[in-house]
Structure 1
Amino acid sequence: MTELLEKAIEKLKTLPLSEQNAIAAMILVELEDEHQWDEAFARSPDLLAKLAAEAMAEYHAGKTQELDADAL
């Protein structure tokens, strides 16, 4: 376990049980979500490579534009 994680857990131990449980639930959901993404990417490497190649082809053909974060 990292020092940072140990420090976070020590602080969590000082919280009321309901808050500890809420944070634990959020962490578990995040970990499961990450696991599902990893599995999805592992099952479709060919599709991801194809999408990346298409994106690069569009970029090289001048069919893309720079993202304007202010316009979002």
Structure 2
Amino acid sequence: MTQLLQQVWDKLIILPEERQESIALLILEEIQDEIQWAKQFENSKDKLTSIAKKVRRDINEGRIQKKGFGNI
């Protein structure tokens, strides 16, 4: 456990149980959100790699034109 997390823990355990529960739920939701994002990114990595390769190929073959905001 990191020092910061230990400090949080030490302060958390002196709070009323109801407040501990609400903070624990917030932390748990944040962790679950991180896990979900990691899974989504991992599942889309091959597709993103494929898209990046296609874009590089299009650039190298001259199918992409550089334009500024005034040209859109």
Give the secondary structure class of the aligned counterpart of 1:25: helix
Point out the structure with max Rg over C-alpha: 2
After superposition, the C-alpha distances for 1:2-56 in whole angstroms (9 at most, x for unaligned) are 01100001011111100000000111111011101100100111333426x86xx
- Counterpart-to-counterpart distance in 1, 2:38 and 2:44: 10
Does the CA-based 8 Å contact 1:41-1:48 persist in structure 2?
no
- State the partner residue of 2:66: 61
**Long gaps (5+) in structure 1:** 65-72
- Counterpart-to-counterpart distance in 1, 2:17 and 2:37: 30
TM-score (normalised: structure 1): 0.67
Give the secondary structure class of the aligned counterpart of 2:47: helix
**Long gaps (5+) in structure 2:** 60-64
Structural RMSD (CA): 2.4
- The 3 A distance-change label for structure 1 pair 42 and 63 is farther
State how many pairs are aligned.
59
Give the secondary structure class of the aligned counterpart of 1:44: helix
TM-score (normalised: structure 2): 0.67
